[in-house]
């Protein structure tokens, strides 16, 4: 299959979306930018489109998709009820990087929810994503547009690298601002529960909701046989080919550990301007601020593979700062929970 790669800028008119919208109406799939990561979009009401999404990504069948809408009003078709707390969250964070899980309406096919009676809904803030939803006239189911298990794509080129020949169309809308996937919160439980941290932070959620539980799987590996609240938690994720090892401790100890490690193609991922004392090549992935780290995280992990790294030691963000939860959650999974204390 030929993959078209088309640049669209946020100032372009709706006529730019004609080809992509036509494909979506034909239940084909399209790579689209959002403010978090690129998504692989398809008509959420079509089993055929959903099947194509799963096939293109090689996604496990039991992992449900997020449905994207362009306005809050569109949620009423997707869920059986919109509770007051959902309205409050939408008011505070939509459009934006927050996904809410609610009991689904009969209109949502079980193929989207992988058989669950709940559906994940998000209204992205990226103008291109919202224009595409409007132009296609249906809500768009969209997982991250990577091959399952790989780091999520934050540039159109990442989507092309993973899915060329497997999907007909990719919109290049530039680099994603946030860089990590949306915060996922379930409102289908008695107390709202954070299932996946993102850049709508835990403290921001608590400001609106008061009490918020945090699922154990956010920072811990699943215990054998443990039941998951979100199927996505089960799978190895965000992994480049290079082995990722997280190194927790003071900077000088990090440097000493990495410099004394014997091996080939050894790399480090560090905070900005920390490279001077290192004897190995390195990638800077941001200041200690969570926004800069999340922005560069997946691109840096993909860069390691381009460089042919065998192993990469990564500086560990401050775990006492809840704003870092999203970056820590992704790094821990990329590393298969391998953490060395120095």
For 100, the 3-state DSSP assignment is strand
C-beta of 182 vs 294, nearer to ligand TXA: 182
Distance in Å, CB of 230 to ligand TXA, minimum: 3
Q: Output Rg (C-alpha) for the chain, integer angstroms.
A: 20
Phi, psi (5° rounding) for residue 314? -115, 130
**The 213-214 sheet, strands edge to edge:** 4-7, 169-172, 30-32, 39-43, 140-141, 66-68, 118-122, 98-103, 183-186, 193-196, 213-214
Q: Which stretch binds Mg ion (CB under 5 A): 70-78, 87-95, 139-147, 298-306?
A: 139-147
Cis peptide, bond prior to residue 292, ω within 30 of zero = no
C-beta of 95 vs 124, nearer to ligand TXA: 124
Among 144, 154, 204, 229, binds Mg ion (CB under 5 A): 144
Distance in Å, CB of 101 to ligand TXA, minimum: 5
Distance in Å, CB of 141 to ligand TXA, minimum: 9
Listed in order, strand segments (DSSP E) in the chain are 4-7, 30-32, 39-43, 66-68, 98-103, 118-122, 140-141, 169-172, 183-186, 193-196, 213-214, 243-248, 266-270, 282-284, 311-315, 339-341
Q: Which stretch binds Mg ion (CB under 5 A): 48-56, 111-119, 140-148, 249-257?
A: 140-148
Distance in Å, CB of 332 to ligand TXA, minimum: 15
Which positions from 216 to 235 touch Mg ion by CB under 5 A, shown as an x/- string?
Answer: --------------------
- Give residues with Cβ within 8 angstroms of 219, minimum separation 6: 319, 325, 328, 329, 332
Distance in Å, CB of 266 to Mg ion, minimum: 28
- Give residues with Cβ within 8 angstroms of 220, minimum separation 6: 337
Residues 116-135 close enough to bind Mg ion by CB under 5 A: none
**Which residue in this structure is represented by tokens 């953490």?**
339
C-beta of 34 vs 324, nearer to ligand TXA: 34
Distance in Å, CB of 15 to ligand TXA, minimum: 24
Q: Which helix (H) or strand (E) holds 48?
A: helix 47-57
296 counts as binding Mg ion under rule CB under 5 A: no
C-beta of 144 vs 329, nearer to Mg ion: 144
Report whether 269 contacts 283 (CB < 8 A). yes
Question: Which residue number has the CB closest to ligand TXA?
Answer: 232
Binding site for ligand TXA (CB under 6 A): 34, 36-37, 39, 63-66, 97, 99, 101, 113, 116, 118-120, 122, 124, 142-144, 181-182, 184, 195-196, 230-232
Binding site for Mg ion (CB under 5 A): 144
């Amino acid at each position: 299959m030929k993959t078209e790669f088309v640049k669209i800028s946020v100032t372009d008119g709706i006529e730019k979306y004609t080809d992509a919208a036509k494909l979506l109406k034909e239940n084909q799939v399209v790579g689209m930018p959002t403010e978090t990561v690129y998504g692989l979009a398809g008509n959420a009401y079509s089993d055929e489109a959903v099947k194509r999404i799963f096939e293109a990504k090689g996604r496990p069948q039991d992992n449900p998709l997020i449905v994207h809408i362009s306005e809050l009003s569109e949620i009423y078709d997707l869920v059986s009820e919109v509770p007051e707390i959902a309205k409050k969250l939408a008011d505070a964070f939509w459009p934006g990087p927050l996904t809410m899980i609610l009991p689904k309406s009969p209109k949502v096919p079980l193929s989207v929810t992988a058989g669950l009676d709940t559906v994940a809904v998000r209204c992205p803030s990226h103008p291109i994503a919202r224009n595409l939803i409007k132009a296609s006239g249906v809500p768009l189911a969209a997982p991250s547009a990577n091959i399952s298990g790989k780091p999520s794509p934050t540039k159109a080129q990442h989507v092309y690298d993973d899915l060329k020949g497997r999907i007909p169309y990719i919109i290049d809308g530039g680099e994603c601002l946030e860089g990590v996937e949306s915060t996922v919160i379930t409102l289908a439980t008695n107390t709202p529960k954070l299932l996946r941290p993102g850049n709508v932070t835990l403290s921001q959620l608590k400001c609106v909701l008061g009490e918020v539980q945090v699922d154990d799987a956010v920072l811990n590996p699943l215990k054998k046989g443990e039941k998951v609240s979100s199927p996505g938690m089960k799978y190895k994720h965000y992994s480049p080919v290079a082995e990722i090892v997280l190194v927790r401790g003071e900077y000088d100890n990090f440097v000493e550990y990495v410099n004394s490690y014997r091996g080939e193609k050894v790399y480090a991922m560090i905070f900005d301007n920390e490279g001077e004392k290192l004897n190995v090549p390195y990638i800077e992935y941001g200041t200690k601020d969570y926004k800069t780290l999340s922005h560069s995280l997946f691109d840096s992990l993909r860069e390691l593979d381009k460089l042919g790294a065998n192993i990469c030691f990564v500086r560990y963000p401050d775990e006492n700062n809840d704003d870092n939860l999203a970056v820590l959650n992704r790094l821990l999974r990329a590393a298969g929970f391998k953490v060395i204390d120095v």
